[in-house]
Amino acid sequence: MNPRQVADYMLNQDYFSQWMNIKMIEVKENYCLIEMPIKKEMINGLKTVHGGVTFAFADSALAFSSNNSGEAAVALNCIINFTKAGKEGDVFRAESILVNETRKTAVYDIKITNQNEELVAKFIGTVYKIGKQVTEL
């Protein structure tokens, strides 16, 4: 399978990403660009996007980019910095780019922006390659 097919295969089984209404915009090996509309159920008590939603969105970008070669990888460590509050009606985009790769790990830089291309969050994710193919799981 090519990277887009692997990412689509994963999304088809990822009910949480489906609930978030994530759409694949672009997929290349070790890269993805995804989009998500912010809906009412994603808003916290301060009327902004819940941090867990933003983190989960970045985590999905990490998953789709780090697994799309077909080699399965799982999150080992993730760090997020929130830079701008999101609101209901926003459209978030997450771009995940491979920064460094070894035989067993890889580091990805993920930038989340809104529909005005303003930085909402910066996420760094490290994954561990488990030695299996995505389709074996």
What per-residue confidence (pLDDT) applies to 26?
98
Give the whole-number percent of the chain exceeding pLDDT 90. Answer: 100
Looking at domain 3-132, its CATH class is alpha beta
pLDDT at position 108 is: 98
- Residue appearing with tokens 């389709």: 135
**Are the C-beta atoms of 83 and 68 separated by less than 8 Å?**
no
Q: Distance of CA 132 to CAs 63, 69, 97, 124, Å?
A: 15, 12, 22, 23
Give residue-wise pLDDT tens across range 45-100: 999 999 999 999 999 999 999 999 999 999 999 999 999 999 999 999 999 999 99
| Nearest in space to 95 (alpha carbons), one of 114, 110, 75 | 110
| Token digits of residue 31 | 């890269």
- How does residue 42 score in pLDDT terms, banded at 50, 70 and 90? very high
Q: What is the pLDDT of residue 98?
A: 98
Instruction: Give the C-alpha separation, 42 to 44, whole Å.
Output: 7
Q: Averaged over 33-44, what is the pLDDT?
A: 98
Q: Are strands 91-101 and 31-37 parallel, antiparallel or unpaired?
A: antiparallel
Residues 6+ apart with CB under 8 A from 80: 51, 54, 55, 58, 121, 122, 123
Q: Would you state the structure tokens that stand for residue 46, as one six-digit string?
A: 């301060």
Give the pTM: 0.97
| Percentage of the chain exceeding pLDDT 70 | 100
